[in-house]
Structure 1
Amino acid sequence: MSARIPPLHLIYAFEAVVRHSSFSKAADELNVTRSTISHRIQTLEKLLNTILFERTTRKLNLNAAGASYYLAVKEALVSLDNLNKINSHNLYKKTITISSPPTFANIYLLPRLKDFLDQYPNIEIAIEIAKSQLDYEISKVDFDIRYGSGVYPGMQSRQISRDTIFPVASPYYVKSKNIRQPRDLENCDFLRSYLEPWSSWFIQAHLDWKEPTQGHRFEDLSLLYHAAQNSWGVALARESLVMKQINQGTLVQLFDITAEPLFQYYAIIDPRKNLSDEASMFIDWLCRT
């Protein structure tokens, strides 16, 4: 055989033909025509100055030279594949650092994040938990996720969530309080949070009630929902954060009446920072999910 190393497209064609024992199937796998595969095998044999196959009307078999060459080809392709895996693993990864309220990071972001990372395997995400929610504090991250009005002087904001809110309670609490219609909530314990005021839902339910001033209060929405699951009372919830509990039956949406909340989740961007392409892609993805 010649010492010249054939081009890879000829070697890949040869390997596919041997594996499938068919020119046609090899052509389908490599997305070329059968005649192209046949031409590549002929070119390979010419370069090697040897015949690789025993051709019959019904079957395609390697001869002794072909079998020997196939073993060498397989060993070389395995080595190339291992080298590609090493190089891929060592590729430089761009890190996107964000800050986020704990409930959003845990309930909303993490279950969806794998989809983004599967699309962009060379990106890593670093998440810092924001201490403030309704009050915005500038951080040193690429961008912030905040729960609020979206209006932050000197900052750019893009809305992520578009939730509506509705009352939820545990099945046990609903049964024990015999909750059938909105006015039945008069005899219930309201679970409160400055993050989720009741007033807008009262208006939609045609209840002339003031904002509750008594009842357990939680300034973390996951704690609010957990208290409702444990039958402490009725909480206002948003679909993007409680659908798992509703589907599992640990929380019940009490009525079909929904309201627009005062606050949503926003990506907050400091225009003085040079936002990377990767961070921009991440924000675009967040606002589409």
Structure 2
Amino acid sequence: MASRLPPVHALSAFEAAARFQSFALAADELCITPSALSHRIRLLEDFVGERLFIRDSRSVTVSEFGRRYLDVVRSALRALNDFPMPHRGAAAQPRLKITVPPTFARYLLVPHLAKFTRRYPHIAVELFLSVPLYDLSLSESDIEIRFGAGNYANIETRKLFEEPAFVVASPAYLDSIGGVASPADLKKANLLRSALEPWQPWFEAAGLDWVEPSAGLRVDDLGLLLESIKHGHGIGLTRQHFAEDMIASGEIVRLFEIELRSPPHAYYCVYEKSAIERPEVALFVDWLLSVFK
């Protein structure tokens, strides 16, 4: 009797939903409705006899069984995709998937990206956002820009650049607290907290024997941190690439000449060692290094 095989359209639906962690985004990629995608997932769950996702009101997460089955599904789909077909039409356009922290994407990558796409119009670039300091898997991206300490095991890591961190505030906020004349005057200010820009190293550079602030607004996105400073929530740390336009317009001002020359976090380009063998990946890495070096 013929072996029963899982439906390929359900396998592709499962792979896409696991990759995006979203039924809506997966349905959009496959050009079907979320309802149709859910039906395909249920069909595959009925076939394997196990739950593939843990669902709640806000998100979907791949189950333990689903994670193990996902490796098999991806391997099978990759084998189908890579099988040589001599009479197939022209090669598909090379696609480059890049995962980027939001602030880097907004302030640094997107303003330069047109130079790359004009130079290499045959490469389709796809941008996805990531959360800094979370070492996510590279399995779904060709290249990832990470903001962190640079200690990433088993992947190629290239530092793009690091910038000094310095203190900024809005003029209105400074007026509201009577101004600050020295670093010690920061004791009367709200110091905005972020795991991305910790205060402790700057305190040491300023000669202050202070501990990391533990109260007040915390913002773990560098762009939102800068916006919070601009809107007068307190005083915070930033870097030149992000703050230069706001400083030039007078929306924020730099305080003191003290800066942290080697902050604990910098931007890195990371990728699997085998990925660089693809021409589009090698071209983009070389381009990134030339722009930000």
What TM-score do the two structures reach when normalised by structure 2?
Answer: 0.64
Q: Is the 8 A contact 1:96 1:279 kept in 2?
A: yes
1:226 corresponds to which residue?
Answer: 227
**Structure 1 letter corresponding to 2:254:** Q
Cα distance in 2 between the residues matched to 1:240 and 1:269: 24
What does 1:259-278 correspond to in 2, within 5 Å?
259=260, 260-273=262-275, 275-278=277-280
2:216 corresponds to which residue?
Answer: 215
Cα distance in 2 between the residues matched to 1:184 and 1:150: 34
Q: Is the 8 A contact 1:171 1:252 kept in 2?
A: yes
Q: Deviations over 1:136-161 (max 9, x none)?
A: 11131111111111111111100112
**Structure 2 letter corresponding to 1:138:** S
2:259 corresponds to which residue?
Answer: 258
Q: Deviations over 1:90-134 (max 9, x none)?
A: 99743211111111111211112122223323333110111x321
Partner of residue 285 from structure 1, selected from 253, 276, 287: 287
1:128 corresponds to which residue?
Answer: 128
Shift in Å, 1:278: 2.1
Q: Is the 8 A contact 2:157 2:269 kept in 1?
A: yes
Cα distance in 2 between the residues matched to 1:275 and 1:285: 15
1:187 corresponds to which residue?
Answer: 188
Cα distance in 1 between the residues matched to 2:127 and 2:184: 42
**Structure 2 letter corresponding to 1:232:** H
Largest Rg, 1 or 2: 1
Shift in Å, 1:288: 2.6
Secondary structure of the corresponding residue to residue 231 of structure 1: coil
**Structure 1 letter corresponding to 2:287:** W
What does 1:14-163 correspond to in 2, within 5 Å?
93-130=93-130, 132-139=131-138, 140-163=140-163
Q: Is the 8 A contact 1:156 1:271 kept in 2?
A: yes
**Structure 1 letter corresponding to 2:196:** L
Secondary structure of the corresponding residue to residue 285 of structure 1: helix
Q: Is the 8 A contact 1:168 1:234 kept in 2?
A: yes
Q: Identify if the C-alpha distance between structure 1 residues 196 and 275 changes in structure 2 by more than 3 Å, giving closer, same or farther.
A: farther
Q: Deviations over 1:216-240 (max 9, x none)?
A: 0011111111110000000110112
Cα distance in 2 between the residues matched to 1:244 and 1:91: 43
Q: Is the 8 A contact 1:92 1:122 kept in 2?
A: no
Q: Is the 8 A contact 2:276 2:282 kept in 1?
A: no
Cα distance in 2 between the residues matched to 1:225 and 1:138: 28
Q: Deviations over 1:67-109 (max 9, x none)?
A: xxxxxxxxxxxxxxxxxxxxxxx99743211111111111211
1:82 corresponds to which residue?
Answer: none
Q: Identify if the C-alpha distance between structure 1 residues 154 and 183 changes in structure 2 by more than 3 Å, giving closer, same or farther.
A: same
Which is further off, 268-277 or 192-201? 268-277
What TM-score do the two structures reach when normalised by structure 1?
Answer: 0.65
Gap runs ≥5 in structure 1: 1-89
Shift in Å, 1:265: 1.0
Secondary structure of the corresponding residue to residue 174 of structure 2: helix
**Structure 1 letter corresponding to 2:189:** C
Q: Is the 8 A contact 1:149 1:264 kept in 2?
A: yes
